[in-house]
Structure 1
Amino acid sequence: MKTRWSLSSRLALLFAACTAVVSLFAGVLFSRGSEAHFIELDQQLLESRLIGLRRAVQGLDADQLRRRLEDELSRQSDLALRIKDSNGVRWYDSSIRIPAQLPESPGLSTLSDADSDYRVLTAPLDPGRPGSPQLTLLLDITHHQHFLQRMQRMIWLTVGLSALATALLGAWAARRALRPLRRMGAIAGNVSARSLNARLPQEQMPAELAELAHSINAMLARLDDAFQRLSAFSADIAHELRTPLSNLLTHTQVTLTRERSLEDYREALHSNLEELQWMAQMVNDMLFLAKADHGLLAPHRERLALAEEIDVLLEFFAPLAEDVDVRLNRAGDGRVEGDRSMLRRAFSNLLDNALRFTPADGEVRIRIIDSPHVLKIHVENSGDGIPADLLPRLFDRFYRADPARREGSSEHAGLGLAITRSIIRAHGGDIHCESVDGWTRFMIELPKAD
């Protein structure tokens, strides 16, 4: 099983790796810089000694030259000298410890032999004379090399210790910095269906986590609202079905208490049939809404003239409007692409709702406004307004703004506006309601037909 590293451990290792890389880089630069500095110093020293030797031996014969060289070198214990004649034969060695093989090419170089390290400078004894003997100066730099080696060991030790210290300090700092994240996890772990009202303390979060806490709080708010709506929906279903089921049971039990005539049984069945038809319609409406919630509504698209479709509905509702002394009228026209049966159902729900709440001698108006990008349809009726605090809930399932609602009414179950909104949204539109100045207005926006 693959090991899962904690975020604190990852940050600590990352801090340690970064510190080690930076320390190592700085140490290598310092080591290279020190080595280059020592080479420069050694070169200056060897060149100055070379100039001094050339001056000291100028114009001397072989015996005098040898004595003069020994005298000069006796005062410089870390300096050694080898001289070869023009034929490459060794003529003079100032020490028996000089390595047998030395660089032949002129210039500065570094040589290691046994336990000693040397900086070697090779040059002609008399640069102005052809066939001049070859002079090789050796400077013992063993102590330099030991210093550089100690420094390299110190660099590695520093890198290791700094990485370890940074890892420990990084783990502590990361754990302390991630404390709000653990607090968020603890609060989120306690969230359940019974405690969706829990919220993360945004004010106490660092700036990087405040936005995440805000998003999680918004998510919890949406879940809480959805759960409350679902609970209310379940309660409303039970509330709506309880009365008709009770009526069916009671009516059937009463009918079966004694022998009755065929006409009585037929009348009882007709009464039960009405209740069952209403319950079946409500179940179908609920299934329709469930499909809409899951995006399963697929309207059959065809080009429709809204004025013609609404005139058909107005003609259907005309007798009912005459009975309640309400005037119906329509203005404007426009074309949309949509499902004829679905749109007729949506507008039928709005007209039925408007007629129920329009007082005698009132008016129901439908206005079609052809805008540049959308088609606006306003279904409005005169009468008592709807309080502003109730407007956001009008499209909730089973919600009825009339406080005198009747339980289990077989006439209106409070699903019409919810179905209307689902149909409008399935067509890519939107609907909302306003109630001002004695008029209640449902405003719909639908995409225009191309």
Structure 2
Amino acid sequence: MNHRWSLSNRLALLFAACTAIVSLFAGVLFSRGSEAHFIELDQQVLEAKLIGVRRALQDSHGHDPRKLLDDELSRQADLALRIKDNEGVRWHGGSIRIPAQVPERLGLSTLSDANNDYRVLNAPLYLDRADSAQLTLLLDITHHQHFLQRMQRLIWLTVGLSAVATALLGAWAARRGLRPLRRMGAIASNVSARSLNARLPEEHMPAELAELAHSINDMLGRLDDAFQRLSAFSADIAHELRTPLSNLLTHTQVTLTRERSLEDYREALHGNLEELQWMAQLVNDMLYLAKADHGLLALHREPLDLAQEADLLLEFFAPLAEDTHVHLSREGNSHMEGDRNMVRRALSNLMDNALRFTPDGGEVRVRIVDGAQEVSVSVENSGEGITADLLPRLFDRFYRADPSRQEGSSEHAGLGLAITRSIIRAHGGEIRCESADGWTRFVIELPKSN
């Protein structure tokens, strides 16, 4: 099993690593700067002493130059002098021990032996003579090197302590900063099908987590709504199928209680066939809605003349309207691209719904309004209006605005408007219902092309 680091530990290690890198970088810069500063100071000391030695030799005027050099070197105990002429090597005494191997190249260099460190300056004794002897000045810088070594040890110690301290403080800060996230996790772990109404607190959270909590709350709201719809849908479909199944079972049991004539059996089978056809239609409608919910409706788009489609439907419903003396009419015209069969089914559902709720002698009309980017189609019927509190539920599955209709009707199952809305949305449009002033209208707004 792979060990997974917690987010707090990861942040703590990240803080520690960043602090160690920054501290180390700063320490290296300080160490290099200190070393360069000491080199510059040593060079100034050696160059000043070189000038003094040359001046002492130039001002000897019959005096013993060695005595003058001793006087010059006696002022600084950590300085030594060596002079090598063209005839051989001649050592001059100094206050510090001169190493056996001394660099011969001109300029400033650094020398180390077993116990001491030196800064070495090689230069010609006389600047105006080509055969000038070579002068070597050695400055004991052991105390400088010890300081730099102590500084490096202090830098490493500071880096280590800073990393440890930052790791501890980072872990504490991370755990404290992630406390709202742990609370979110605790609340989310208690969410189940029975407690989808739980919501994450957004008031006292950081901005980033508040945005996440808001998104999760929206998701929980959608899940709660979908679960409630699914539960209601399962109950509704069971409720709808119970009556026809009970009718089939009872009818069949009664038919089989005794011997009957062939005509009686034929009549019983016809009755069962009607119930089975209604159940088959119900199942087909449910499959259609399931496809629509998952975006699986395959649209065969083609140019449509909406006025022609509406006229065909009005002609189809004309006999039914004549029985109740309902006047049918159509106004306006427009064209769009869509699936002909689906659009016909949607308009047919609205026409059928309008005729069923239009009183005798009423009126049903189809109004088409052509727009620049979209087309509006409304199916209107006169009659008793629908209260405002019922309008949002008209497109729910199995919902019937007429309370007098009984469950399990073999004529209407309350899916027509739900199917109509699915068809309209599949075409990229929307549908709404308005009811006022004795008129009820279903308004469809569709894009001309999508």
Shorter-chain TM-score above 0.5:
yes
Show structure 1 runs of 5+ residues with no match.
none
TM normalised by structure 2 equals: 0.95
Q: Give the match for residue 112 of structure 1.
A: 112
Q: Give the match for residue 255 of structure 2.
A: 255
What is the one-letter code of the residue matched to 2:432? Answer: H
1:323 and 1:274 map into 2 onto residues whose CA distance is 24
The verdict on how the C-alpha distance between 1:299 and 1:76 changes in structure 2, with shifts beyond 3 A counting, is: closer
Q: Give the match for residue 74 of structure 2.
A: 74
Q: Give the match for residue 433 of structure 1.
A: 433
Alignment check: 8 A CA contact 1:85 1:91 kept: no
Alignment check: 8 A CA contact 2:362 2:382 kept: yes
Alignment check: 8 A CA contact 2:74 2:95 kept: no
What is the one-letter code of the residue matched to 1:138? Answer: L
1:401 and 1:122 map into 2 onto residues whose CA distance is 110
Q: Give the match for residue 224 of structure 1.
A: 224
The verdict on how the C-alpha distance between 1:417 and 1:132 changes in structure 2, with shifts beyond 3 A counting, is: same
1:93 and 1:129 map into 2 onto residues whose CA distance is 24
Q: Give the match for residue 246 of structure 1.
A: 246
Alignment of 1:243-392 (within 5 A): 243-392=243-392
Alignment of 1:5-24 (within 5 A): 5-24=5-24
Alignment check: 8 A CA contact 1:326 1:360 kept: yes
Percent of pairs identical after alignment? 80
What is the one-letter code of the residue matched to 2:360? Answer: A
Quick check: 188-197 or 55-64, which moved more?
55-64
Deviation at 1:283, TM superposition (A): 1.1
TM normalised by structure 1 equals: 0.95
Alignment check: 8 A CA contact 1:379 1:443 kept: yes
Deviation at 1:59, TM superposition (A): 3.9
Let me know the Cα RMSD of the aligned residues. 2.0
1:142 and 1:442 map into 2 onto residues whose CA distance is 99
SS at match of 1:389: coil
Alignment check: 8 A CA contact 1:83 1:93 kept: no
SS at match of 1:388: coil
1:406 and 1:87 map into 2 onto residues whose CA distance is 133
What CA deviation, in whole Å up to 9, does each residue of 1:157-184 have, x standing for no partner? 1101110111111111111111111111
Alignment of 1:109-258 (within 5 A): 109-258=109-258
Deviation at 1:442, TM superposition (A): 1.4
Quick check: 321-330 or 384-393, which moved more?
384-393
Q: Give the match for residue 423 of structure 2.
A: 423
Quick check: 128-137 or 339-348, which moved more?
128-137
The verdict on how the C-alpha distance between 1:57 and 1:257 changes in structure 2, with shifts beyond 3 A counting, is: same
What is the one-letter code of the residue matched to 1:353? Answer: N
2:210 and 2:76 map into 1 onto residues whose CA distance is 73
The verdict on how the C-alpha distance between 1:194 and 1:365 changes in structure 2, with shifts beyond 3 A counting, is: same
What is the one-letter code of the residue matched to 2:289? Answer: L
Alignment check: 8 A CA contact 2:79 2:96 kept: no
2:310 and 2:240 map into 1 onto residues whose CA distance is 31
Deviation at 1:96, TM superposition (A): 7.7
1:96 and 1:445 map into 2 onto residues whose CA distance is 103
What is the one-letter code of the residue matched to 2:364? Answer: V
Q: Give the match for residue 99 of structure 2.
A: 99
SS at match of 1:364: strand
1:276 and 1:76 map into 2 onto residues whose CA distance is 120
Tell me whether 1:396 sits opposite 2:376 in the alignment.
no
Alignment of 1:23-62 (within 5 A): 23-60=23-60
1:341 and 1:154 map into 2 onto residues whose CA distance is 85
SS at match of 1:257: coil
Show structure 2 runs of 5+ residues with no match.
none
- Number of residue equivalences: 450
Quick check: 195-204 or 208-217, which moved more?
195-204
